[in-house]
A and B are shown apart, each in its own frame.
Chain A
Amino acid sequence: MSARTSDPEAYLRQPAGVAERFERIRQRPVILSVRHLSKDFESDGHRRPVFEGLTLDIHRREFICAIGPSGCGKSTLARIVAGLDEASGGEVLLDGALVTGPGPDRGMVFQGYTLFPWLTVKANVMFGLEMGGQAPAIAEQEARQWLDMVGLGKFENAYPHELSGGMKQRVAIARALANGPRILIMDEPFGALDAQTRAQMQGYLLQIWRKVDVTILFITHDLDEAAYLSDRILVMGANPGRVVEFIENPVPRPRSAEQFQSPEFLALKRRLEEHIHPPMEVEEVDLLPMVKLTHADDEVE
């Protein structure tokens, strides 16, 4: 095993089923196309680039995870795709049409849940449908179906403040999916959850994704999460933000927690670690100029 993991190219070797699957994915139509996208922002009168020259294609029903060090602009990318921020240059095409602002064809799930506190769980899920001009009776019926799908049918009349974090995020996912978006953008959606709930939510998300015709762009800083969920991983670098590598995930589907020890998973994780925590960046911690304040025989190490 050690021989394989030490091979720096190990993550590129895909098991036969996986390679075949990627071949099929490449045949699918491109849903989201990002062309030479750049974003500047102004601070103290200086223009600083967040990222420049981002170009990538995402195919229908792909699960894309974007990772990168803080400041690489992965969240900004998500917000531009969602239409919440404006790009400084380049363009985003959804099904070939230019993205100019937020719209119901691109659903978004935020880290902070952003459920409407004055609406019940059901009314939250109905919101987008009603905005789209759906009749209330039909919207209600559809909302119920989505809530059943995320396992919260019993809570349809609860208010968001009565739910746990994981449940809130499931409602937020149902709310976004009820609109039938072409792509679901998730900006560190599980970042505020504890480890156990997060693992559970990842499982839920994979189940939902299998059942629904939706493409997912998932922003995270958790390498395990990216390796567990994704088809491809968009690795971004900082200063300025750019695409470092777009990795095809060699771990076979369906995914399970046991795969965390599989050679493919470990090889992929190793590659991601190299990108995110390059070895030369780990510096020796300087010794602090501190006088010892304990007794000589009171060593803790």
Chain B
Amino acid sequence: MATAHRDWLGLKAELPRKRRTQLTLLSFLLPLGLWCVVSYVPWIWHPLVRITSPGEVDYFTEDLDVPRGDFTSECAKARAAGQTLPEGVRVNPVYLPPPHAVARAFVTAFQTPPRLPNEPWLHQSLGHSIRTIVWGFVASSLLGLPLGILCGTYRFAARLQEPFIEFFRYLPAPAFGALCVAVLGIDDAPKVAIIFVGTFFQQVLVISNTVRKVDPALIEASQTLGARGWKLVRRVIIPASVSDIYTDMRILLGWAWTYLIVAEVVGTMSGITYFINQQARYRNFDNVYAAIAMIGIIGFSSDLFLAWLGSVLFPWKRKSRGTSGIAKHSLSTSASPSLEATVQTP
């Protein structure tokens, strides 16, 4: 160990590219492996017994799941009474389907027609969810971006707006659910409104904070070159902060996803939440897991895409490329203590 003094854990330097890829893969394979072990190794967990042949135990029927304790005591009773012994295999509860069942559900969930004639297909549910998110986020950004930039640029605007917004962001968005329904009806409008409320106030504070961090020396330099007023905002302050604002927006979009589930139970339940609920009611837990994983995959892959897009849009930032941009771009500022909890999507 002393002879080959290598920085295996990456204490001082970034790990080699190949090792990084391996570790990324492993970070997904480890939980998946754990799931496989619990699902496929019969003596690990498997707290239930599924009856394959009821024998002469009167309340046992085929495919019934009973706790292992009950099964052994029934077996003992049957043996004592000289009856035919029941038979069964150890299984996990129905709410923990094995990986292959969930993997299969990824395909079959899309192919299975809905049980009721007016229910949406899965792809329609997903589309509905994505539409809700996009509208909520776009509406929030249309207002939040300009206001955030204004507050970040001029202290006057910041003093005028931020104290109230700071107060308002502590009001939890779901609390407005009933109000939104009363005002906006039971369809999509209140859902979009919930996502708006959940995103907007944080957005203004986070963006104004980012804009405020623009190097004052750059502003001074531009002033000595004749920039002033709106030109100064448009040609210096916005471009100087745009790549950090972009990173903020990526994080905020991930956040909007977490408000989605709340938004979708407001009024008439809709979208992916409706699908998950229905499938849970039918006890199709493989479909439930598949749907939850789909949210994760959509969120994660759209973030990866946006990260790549960012490196194309902002070539001067290419030194610090990729998702690590989020880590470098610290959000632990006064405006966003709760942002640290923003792991991409559930």
A residues near B, CB below 8 A?
82-84, 101-104, 106-108, 110, 112, 114, 116-119, 127-128, 130-132, 159-161, 175-176, 179
A175 to B227, CA, bound (A): 13
A131 to B316, CA, bound (A): 22
Partner of A159, one of B231, B236, B240, B316: B316
Pairs A-B, 8 closest by C-beta atoms: A104-B226, A128-B225, A102-B223, A114-B221, A131-B226, A108-B224, A118-B239, A159-B316
Partner of B220, one of A104, A114, A116: A114
A131 to B235, CA, bound (A): 9
Residues of B within 8 A of A179 (CB): 225-226
A251 to B33, CA, bound (A): 79
Chain B contact residues (Cβ within 8 angstroms of A): what range? 20 to 34
Query: Residue on A with the closest CB to B314?
Result: A118
* A161→B226 contact, CB < 8 A: no
Residues of B within 8 A of A128 (CB): 225-226
* B217→A112 contact, CB < 8 A: yes
* A82→B226 contact, CB < 8 A: no
Partner of A131, one of B215, B225, B315: B225
Query: Residue on A with the closest CB to B215?
Result: A114
* A102→B235 contact, CB < 8 A: no
B121 CB, nearest partner CB in chain A, Å: 45
A sample of 23 inter-chain contacts (CB < 8 A) reads A84-B224, A102-B220, A102-B223, A103-B224, A103-B226, A104-B224, A104-B225, A106-B224, A110-B221, A114-B215, A114-B217, A114-B220, A114-B221, A116-B221, A118-B240, A118-B314, A127-B222, A131-B225, A131-B226, A131-B231, A132-B226, A175-B225, A176-B225
> B173 on the interface (CB 8 Å rule)?
no
A165 to B217, CA, bound (A): 17
> B218 on the interface (CB 8 Å rule)?
yes
Residues of B within 8 A of A112 (CB): 217
> B242 on the interface (CB 8 Å rule)?
yes
Given contacts A106-B224, A118-B242, A118-B243, 19 further A-B contacts (CB under 8 A): A83-B223, A104-B226, A107-B225, A108-B220, A108-B221, A112-B217, A114-B215, A114-B221, A118-B314, A127-B225, A127-B227, A128-B225, A131-B227, A131-B231, A131-B235, A132-B226, A161-B316, A175-B225, A179-B226
Partner of A161, one of B222, B223, B319: B319
Residues of B within 8 A of A101 (CB): 223
Partner of A102, one of B215, B224, B239: B224
Residues of A within 8 A of B235 (CB): 127, 130-131
CB 8 Å contact bits of B204-231 with A (1 = contact, 0 = none): 0000000000010110111111110001
Query: Residue on A with the closest CB to B232?
Result: A131
Interface centre among B221, B236, B314 (most CB of A within 10 A): B221
* A116→B240 contact, CB < 8 A: yes
Residues of A within 8 A of B222 (CB): 116, 127, 131
B residues near A, CB below 8 A?
215, 217-218, 220-227, 231, 235-236, 239-240, 242-243, 314-316, 319
Residues of B within 8 A of A175 (CB): 225
A82 to B239, CA, bound (A): 24
Secondary structure class of chain A's binding surface, majority of residues: loop
Query: Residue on A with the closest CB to B221?
Result: A114
A107 to B225, CA, bound (A): 7
Known A-B contacts A131-B235, A159-B315; the reply to A116 vs B218 at CB < 8 A is yes
Query: Residue on B with the closest CB to A172?
Result: B221
Residues of B within 8 A of A83 (CB): 223-224
Residues of B within 8 A of A127 (CB): 222, 225, 227, 235
A124 CB, nearest partner CB in chain B, Å: 10
Residues of B within 8 A of A117 (CB): 240, 316
A159 CB, nearest partner CB in chain B, Å: 5
A179 to B224, CA, bound (A): 10
Query: Residue on B with the closest CB to A159?
Result: B316
A47 to B253, CA, bound (A): 49
A228 to B223, CA, bound (A): 30
* A176→B319 contact, CB < 8 A: no
Residues of A within 8 A of B217 (CB): 110, 112, 114
* A84→B220 contact, CB < 8 A: yes
* B239→A116 contact, CB < 8 A: yes
A160 to B314, CA, bound (A): 13
* B236→A116 contact, CB < 8 A: yes
A169 CB, nearest partner CB in chain B, Å: 13
A106 CB, nearest partner CB in chain B, Å: 6
A128 to B225, CA, bound (A): 5
A214 to B148, CA, bound (A): 41
B247 CB, nearest partner CB in chain A, Å: 15
Known A-B contacts A114-B217, A118-B239, A131-B231; the reply to A176 vs B224 at CB < 8 A is yes
A127 to B236, CA, bound (A): 10
Partner of A84, one of B223, B226, B243, B315: B223
Interface centre among B215, B217, B226, B239 (most CB of A within 10 A): B226
A129 CB, nearest partner CB in chain B, Å: 9
A176 to B242, CA, bound (A): 25
Residues of A within 8 A of B314 (CB): 118
A151 CB, nearest partner CB in chain B, Å: 21
Residues of A within 8 A of B218 (CB): 114, 116
A101 to B316, CA, bound (A): 31
Interface centre among B220, B224, B239, B243 (most CB of A within 10 A): B224
Residues of B within 8 A of A132 (CB): 226
Residues of B within 8 A of A103 (CB): 224, 226
A182 CB, nearest partner CB in chain B, Å: 12
A116 to B220, CA, bound (A): 11
B89 CB, nearest partner CB in chain A, Å: 64
A17 CB, nearest partner CB in chain B, Å: 35
